[in-house]
Amino acid sequence: MHKVIIVEDDRIIRRSLCKAPWEQHGFVVAGEASNGEVAVELINEVQPQVVVSDINMPFMNGLDMAKLVKETSPHTKIIFLTGYEDFNYAKQAVKLQAYDYLLKPVNVEELIEKASNAAAEWELEMRKEKKVEESLPLLQQKFLHKLTQEPEIHEEIDVESELTDLGIELLGPYYTVLLIHINENDIKVETEQKRLLHHLISPILGTLNGQLINGERNEMALFLSLDEKCENQKERIASQLLSLVKNELNTSVTITIGRTYRNLFEIVTAYIESKLAMEMRHIMGTDHVYSIDDTVSGSLNEENMFKELENKLEKHIKKGLPKKAQEKLEQINTAFRTYKNVPLQETRLFALKFSTLLSYEIKKWKQDDRNLTSNVDHYEQIIHFQSLTDVMDHLHHLIDEWAEAMSRTIAKNHHTIVDKAITYINEHYDDPTLTQQKVASAIYVSAPYLSNLFKMEKGVNFTDYLLELRMKRAMELLRKQDAKSYQVADAIGYTNPQYFSISFKKYTGYTPQQFSKSM
């Protein structure tokens, strides 16, 4: 149902208009007023689609009322009623963008028809406005994407005009851009986080001259107008936003700042600077505020230096020196963090190159292992890395895996630790005090390390292996004539014959006596 308000100072006419068959035509009379002054308050409260109002009224006439209504409810349609003697008022009403006017006495059917047409026009305007609002984020994204194109394209952009089309008006005298990156991979979560971000930042923007607009999937750009104290001002705003988002949203956020410029068209440069700075977040870290100047390196020989470090790392890998490879990788990590000028994509390529080299070395030393990670799997991991820490952790882990594989294979080619342990167990299984700790101490390794190796190489743990050895030896002894149960128990390391009998039956399904008689 559409809402209509009747404004008429003549009570009899007003009541007559209110009793017209509005409901049959999709209307509800949402209120009535005797003059423009009362009507303005009522219209602001009810927000009707249509207002039917007399022009000539006391206290505030219909024209003055219309001026105020259009300021607060620009889409409300006003139909004026006027006597023939007030026809000049009707002309002024048209200038005020009144929907239409009717001469008194009013024909109710004609009035309701005009009101229905006015409501239909209101619906059309609302649909158009909704489409504009829904398309605005996409238009904003296209605008920001255009700013990242080649420099010659920038010359074709009428920045001031395009900002105005997007509803962005910046007063100056200085301009800059803050870029806000939501560190979230789930697009549904990102969309919700953006909505919440708009809601959170709106009160702050109320005290600033700026506009928050949608960028790429998880980015938003804050176009700002600054005063003479611009440098401290933009840093303060960025820190305030970071603190607000960290406290109110359950996500990690990075904010970068472009340089400040005097001319509005240079805001394009400020955006590009904040974008370039954001590309360094994998090194600078998340939950930080930093500017393009914080990411700029002063060295002129960085490219050669990085190349030399990479070459040395590659040589250490090919020569089979995992310890030196770890040291060189850490030097590269330090260089990346010091010079801060290696884009994320190049960092991923670095990771892919050396993960391929290391995977080859691991495969070479683990030829009997079917659970090796393929290069495709490494690639799938690497393309999702978002920080230098991710890259370095991945490569350090591969070097550790390579070093372990080398050590294990070399040990197998000699007398392995497990072989030494088994030899000791076979020679001392009759010792009642024999434990994993005692065996480990005898061959000079830690008990946990021996336990892991034992399980890995033999497929059983130490306790199960010792039990099987003792039970098999017990069966051999029981096959001999006149073998006593307590003697067999003592011979295989059991001080308690009853416990031996329980263990033997559990292992064979027979008591020692039953087993002996069955021979």
Residue 405 in this model has a pLDDT that exceeds 80: yes
Structure tokens at 475: 């069966």
97-118 pLDDT, tens digit per residue, is: 678 888 888 899 999 999 999 9
2-125: in CATH 3.40.50.2300: yes
**Residue that is written with structure tokens 């033997």 in the block:** 504
In terms of Cα–Cα distance, which of 399, 177, 181 is closest to 282?
A: 181
Question: What local confidence, expressed as pLDDT, does residue 374 receive?
Answer: 61
Q: Mean pLDDT check: name the lowest of 131-145, 276-290, 353-367.
A: 131-145
Cβ atoms within 10 Å, residue 180 = 24
Distance CA 249, CA 193 (A): 8
In terms of Cα–Cα distance, which of 216, 218, 221 is closest to 185?
A: 218
In one-letter notation, the amino acid at residue 475 is M
Looking at domain 148-295, which CATH architecture does it have?
2-Layer Sandwich (3.30)
DSSP classification of residue 101: E
Residue 299 in this model has a pLDDT that exceeds 50: no
In terms of Cα–Cα distance, which of 95, 112, 6 is closest to 51?
A: 6
The domain spans of the chain are 2-125, 148-295, 302-412, 417-517
Residue 381 in this model has a pLDDT that exceeds 50: yes
For residues 228 and 422, the model is more confident at 422
Alpha helices in 47-95 (DSSP H): 62-72, 87-95
Question: What local confidence, expressed as pLDDT, does residue 125 receive?
Answer: 82
In terms of Cα–Cα distance, which of 512, 424, 506, 511 is closest to 467?
A: 506
441-480 pLDDT, tens digit per residue, is: 888 877 887 887 788 777 888 888 999 999 999 888 888 7
Alpha-carbon torsion angle 331, 334, 335, 340, nearest 10: 160
CA distances 295 to 271, 276, 303, 309, 414, Å, are: 15, 9, 16, 21, 52
Q: Using a cut of 0.85, tell me whether the model's pTM lies above it.
A: no
Do 55 and 30 meet the contact criterion of CB atoms below 8 Å apart? no
CATH, domain range 417-517: 1.10.10.60
Question: What local confidence, expressed as pLDDT, does residue 329 receive?
Answer: 92
For every residue of 272-341, DSSP letters joined together read HHHHHHHTTHHHH-SS-EEEHHHH----S-HHHHHHHHHHHHHHHHHTT-HHHHHHHHHHHHHHHHHH--
Question: What local confidence, expressed as pLDDT, does residue 85 receive?
Answer: 62
In terms of Cα–Cα distance, which of 49, 56, 50 is closest to 34?
A: 56
CA distances 96 to 51, 64, 106, 185, Å, are: 14, 10, 21, 51
Structure tokens at 229: 């104290």
Q: What's the whole-number mean pLDDT along residues 263-281?
A: 84
**Residue that is written with structure tokens 């770890």 in the block:** 326
Is the N-terminal amide bond of 322 cis, ω within 30° of 0?
no
Question: What local confidence, expressed as pLDDT, does residue 414 receive?
Answer: 46
Residue 153 in this model has a pLDDT that exceeds 90: no
DSSP classification of residue 56: S
DSSP classification of residue 227: -
12-38 pLDDT, tens digit per residue, is: 999 999 999 999 999 999 999 999 889
Distance CA 178, CA 341 (A): 20
Distance CA 232, CA 183 (A): 26
Structure tokens at 182: 């939501």
Please, what is the average pLDDT of the chain? Answer: 81
414-452 pLDDT, tens digit per residue, is: 457 788 888 899 999 889 998 999 998 888 877 887 887
In one-letter notation, the amino acid at residue 81 is L
The pairing of strands 27-33 and 50-54 is unpaired
For residues 430 and 88, the model is more confident at 430
Question: What local confidence, expressed as pLDDT, does residue 302 receive?
Answer: 64
